[in-house]
Structure 1
Amino acid sequence: MAKPNLARLGTLVLAAVVAIATPATITYAQEDNTIIFLAGPSSDPFWGAVQQGFDTATKELGVKTQWSAPQDFNDIVPIYTKMFEAAIARKPAAIVVGNFFPEPTEPLIKQAVADGIPVLVYNSGRTTWKDLGAIGFIGEDPWLMGNAGGKIAVKQGVKNGLCINQIAANPVLEMRCKGYIDAVTEAGGKAKLVTLPSEDIGNSQKVQAAVSAMLMADQTIDGVITLGAAVAVDALESVKQVRDTGRKVDLGTIDLGQVVLEAVRDGQMSYAIDQQPFLQGYLGVLMAHQFVNYRLAPATEINSGPFVIDQSNAAAVLAVGEKFPGSRGAN
């Protein structure tokens, strides 16, 4: 029996559940048939998985695409803004963009739409994409992501939780923390959000020192959640040092990486909440491609997370990563 064409099957399935969403007053006259995908820093393993999905869709669909990403988190807001401005100036077939920083990004989404460029929002911007005139949204529900972690933390006995945010300007990360805090407080405990300087992300010594200082400053903290794989790996080292003194501290994270999955498998971390970034990269290209060619777009936002990974299924997810390197995080 011949193997099915998965790319074509995915296209047909998605097309079967979409609705025409093009305002009659907008005309689309692109000068460049490229789909431009604006991504996060390549230094973060999360974006490796997004790029895997992007690359796979590009190859399977046979479309012309461009991946644009900053190198790291330094000056990320102005750099991302300039990337978006450059993309609009090219008048491409479509732009796939994360609304990570609403203040500079949302006016640019409106500008692109006004210029006749279809914009698909992914990852961040779940509640605003439609009002901005975008054709759709693929990504997580951030409150549910954090809340799922908080509920697991509560089962682990957490009474005083800490949610560590690594990008202060991103409201999605704040909503993740709110979900975690809500779960812990509703169970009778307490929790708070703390923010690390974005420029310190990628500097393991600084992150570990900061997390260690937080744990030492309040000896009653018994639960920590991080919002990215790189920070989770650094936080794990700090938590291990505290555990060596006999203190119990639960640790979990949102977003995956190889080291994170191994830590969950081995019981060093309780959980990892996956928003399936590969899916965001793949469907980002697919949905933009369908709109450009068929004027088809989802009628509602598409949730790619939360998907809970704990000790019961971490090994299976690791096996997927071994077969398709980078598809579930790369650190």
Structure 2
Amino acid sequence: MQQRLYLITTLLLVTVLALAACAPGGDSGQQEMAQSEEGEGAAAAEAGDADGGLSFIAVQHAECAWDSFWCTVQNGINSAADDLGVDVTILAPDEFDLDKTASLIEQAVAANPDGIMLTVTDPILFKEPIMKAIDAGIPVIAYNAGSGPIADNIPYYTYLGQDEYQGGYLGGLRLAAGGGTQGVCINQQVGHTGLDKRCAGFSDALAESGIPTEVLAIGDDPAEATTIIGDYYTANPDTDVFLTLGPNGANPFYVFVENEGLTADDITHGTFDLSEEIKANIVSGMTMFGIDQQPFLQGYGGVSTLSMIARYGILPALPVSATGPGFVDAASLASEPDPDAPVSVIAVQHAECAWDSFWCVVQNGINTASEMMGVDVTILAPDEFDLDKTASLIEQAVAANPDGIMLTVTDPILFKEPIMKAIDAGIPVIAYNAGSGPIADNIPYYTYLGQDEYQGGYLGGLRLAAGGGTQGVCINQQVGHTGLDKRCAGFVDALGESGIPAEVLAIGDDPAEAATIIGDYFTANPDTDIFLTLGPNGANPFYVFVENEGLMADDFTHGTFDLSQEINANIESGLTMFGIDQQPFLQGFGGIQALNLLVRHGIVPALPVTPTGPGFVDQGNLSVVQELAGEYR
């Protein structure tokens, strides 16, 4: 679609040029995702026009005409606009000026678009104009600069940027895979939150492999930094695993390596960021990888996220949607993006629409994305639940040699051999709907798209605790089930942060017995006023208990996982605050989008798990969900 670029003449503020740098990502595990209830309800109430034209405005503190970094971001915006059939207007000052950027946010709000994406370069200055958008019911997401809605204290939906801890952690796992004796994280600015998180992740990853690590503080003076690294190595000659945090650490590291006469066989090295020197050392084999924040994905993902909200009422799963770390190695440097390349994908799943209606929504997501993005897709599934047959379908998909395979890792042990055949053949593989991620499944596919169970419980707990409370309980119908236990763990942790004690109540699948257990618990713990149930098998007996006790919505706060007619009715009546949806349409759509970005643009998924849920369904968006049920929800 046509993109309209408005360059607004402004005054350069030289004294704050440092702020123009791309902001590090926030902590995705410690923030609640929630556009304000009023704004979320208004936005959701207008969503649901799956085929209608959409108009978005992107407001950013810099742009391509005077900062080449932003050419990549804006290319991502343009590509997504073309793929998804939306119109995007970019507003940016013609030189760095945060006051002018704030006024451009005001201008965007006045235009009343279907969504606004923006850089939260100064959350204090930008809060007032952003709140005007949210209060007007305009969906708002942040990209490139920001820390997430809680850290920024602005209730927009999500922030798209790099997860610094995960960058260090996943980089550390790669570096430690070949073994090692001692690791060091070379930090040019100890005390910088983002850099410290990188080192913390690195240290944790190496510790899992039994490799001790420490942080070496250097400064920005290259010669001095080289000396410090050399002195450290002289005192610690067993050090063989190195992580640098950007060119200010990598460049003096390379001088140190040359001074010591070391080779790639002597050490393992990875770094954040890219430069000509870093790229040359990746190609030579001295450096294993450079970690990229993937600015193309920040732009593309912003447009895609707003499209999901505006068209389908599908909300971002987490407060921080990671676009990095993206690992750049010798193979990826040798490849050239080809946005027009033909792409064929085979999806292999353990069930299908013809005999399980849940999968109609997943497959609609697959088909919608493939049509929008010009991807040829074939879906393979057994005609009844049969994992052996599904494994043979994976073999069939590999033999067809497509450009990518997406599949359900329903049984990681049974499926490992055929999946490894695809990976060994150089076919990109991602998982969707069923799986636990490449690390937990012990299969090195790219990422798993599905619900993050812990985050569902945690973010649900934050919502339930927001109004205060005395005692919480998580009603678990299958204690010992890993996913359900994670939901309760997140809930307990969230309430703990608000000073509210919480515990787990075990019930079974018998509704009458479960209602009795809940009633007996309440008799023994009458101060309990926050309840989380983990699906209909907990929610339905909870509703019986509520009726038996004569309780009203004012007496307690309740949320649940999943949706059903009974749950929907109680959300509508106000008895239940929300139901948590895994958003199956997004699992299918996101799988195609991930492979499209990987094959055509060389953009790799940032994290082992790409959450499609929790998606919160409340009174504000229930009508949209019901309207789109069976097709998009």
TM-score (norm 1): 0.68
Measured after TM superposition, the shift of residue 100 of structure 1 is: 5.4
Contact residue 455 and residue 487 of structure 2 kept, 8 A = yes
Contact residue 364 and residue 632 of structure 2 kept, 8 A = no
Measured after TM superposition, the shift of residue 146 of structure 1 is: 0.6
> Is 1:212 the counterpart of 2:515 in the alignment?
yes
Tell me the SS of whatever aligns to 1:162: strand
Measured after TM superposition, the shift of residue 66 of structure 1 is: 0.5
C-alpha distance in 2 between matches for 1:113 and 1:102: 14
Within a 5 Å distance, the mapping from 1:68-217 to structure 2 comes to 68=381, 79-80=386-387, 82-91=389-398, 92=400, 93=402, 94-99=404-409, 102-105=412-415, 109-123=419-433, 124-126=435-437, 128=439, 132-154=443-465, 155=467, 157=469, 159-164=471-476, 171-185=482-496, 187-192=499-504, 194=506, 207-209=510-512, 211-217=514-520
Query: Aligned to 1:8, which of 80, 83, 86?
Result: 83
Distance 1:118 1:191, change over 3 A: same
Tell me the SS of whatever aligns to 2:549: coil
Counterpart in 2 of 1:30?
A: none
Measured after TM superposition, the shift of residue 268 of structure 1 is: 2.6
C-alpha distance in 2 between matches for 1:270 and 1:290: 36
Give a deviation string over 1:170-222, Cα, whole Å, max 9, x none: x34432221113234553423226475xxxxxxxxx55245324324534475
Counterpart in 2 of 1:36?
A: 347
Distance 1:132 1:183, change over 3 A: same
C-alpha distance in 1 between matches for 2:452 and 2:367: 24
Contact residue 147 and residue 182 of structure 1 kept, 8 A = yes
> Is 1:286 the counterpart of 2:593 in the alignment?
yes
C-alpha distance in 1 between matches for 2:367 and 2:622: 20
Distance 1:260 1:111, change over 3 A: farther
C-alpha distance in 1 between matches for 2:559 and 2:447: 31
C-alpha distance in 2 between matches for 1:209 and 1:174: 22
Counterpart in 1 of 2:624?
A: 319
C-alpha distance in 1 between matches for 2:449 and 2:548: 43
* Larger RCO: 1 or 2 (CA < 8 Å, sep 6+): 1
Measured after TM superposition, the shift of residue 283 of structure 1 is: 1.1
Query: Aligned to 1:57, which of 346, 353, 369?
Result: 369
C-alpha distance in 1 between matches for 2:479 and 2:422: 25
Distance 1:191 1:48, change over 3 A: farther
Give a deviation string over 1:48-103, Cα, whole Å, max 9, x none: 543331232244335222053786xxxx7xx4464134323431523323445555
Unmatched tracts of structure 1, length 5 or more? 26-32, 197-205
Counterpart in 2 of 1:202?
A: none
Contact residue 129 and residue 137 of structure 1 kept, 8 A = no
Distance 1:257 1:54, change over 3 A: farther
Measured after TM superposition, the shift of residue 24 of structure 1 is: 4.0
Counterpart in 1 of 2:561?
A: 254
The 10-residue stretch of structure 1 (39-48 or 53-62) with the greater mean CA deviation from structure 2 = 39-48
> Is 1:303 the counterpart of 2:611 in the alignment?
yes
Distance 1:106 1:146, change over 3 A: farther
Measured after TM superposition, the shift of residue 271 of structure 1 is: 1.6
Give a deviation string over 1:145-167, Cα, whole Å, max 9, x none: 11122233444736241343569
The 10-residue stretch of structure 1 (275-284 or 131-140) with the greater mean CA deviation from structure 2 = 131-140
The 10-residue stretch of structure 1 (277-286 or 37-46) with the greater mean CA deviation from structure 2 = 37-46
Distance 1:268 1:50, change over 3 A: farther
C-alpha distance in 2 between matches for 1:81 and 1:156: 50
Give a deviation string over 1:288-316, Cα, whole Å, max 9, x none: 244455554334454333343333x2xx3
C-alpha distance in 2 between matches for 1:250 and 1:161: 11
Counterpart in 2 of 1:266?
A: 573
Measured after TM superposition, the shift of residue 14 of structure 1 is: 5.1
Which amino acid is the alignment partner of residue 561 of structure 2? I
The 10-residue stretch of structure 1 (113-122 or 218-227) with the greater mean CA deviation from structure 2 = 218-227
Contact residue 475 and residue 538 of structure 2 kept, 8 A = no
Measured after TM superposition, the shift of residue 46 of structure 1 is: 5.5
Distance 1:281 1:259, change over 3 A: farther
Which amino acid is the alignment partner of residue 326 of structure 1? G
Tell me the SS of whatever aligns to 1:308: strand
TM-score (norm 2): 0.39
Larger Rg: 2
C-alpha distance in 1 between matches for 2:597 and 2:456: 28
C-alpha distance in 1 between matches for 2:604 and 2:490: 29
C-alpha distance in 1 between matches for 2:356 and 2:532: 18
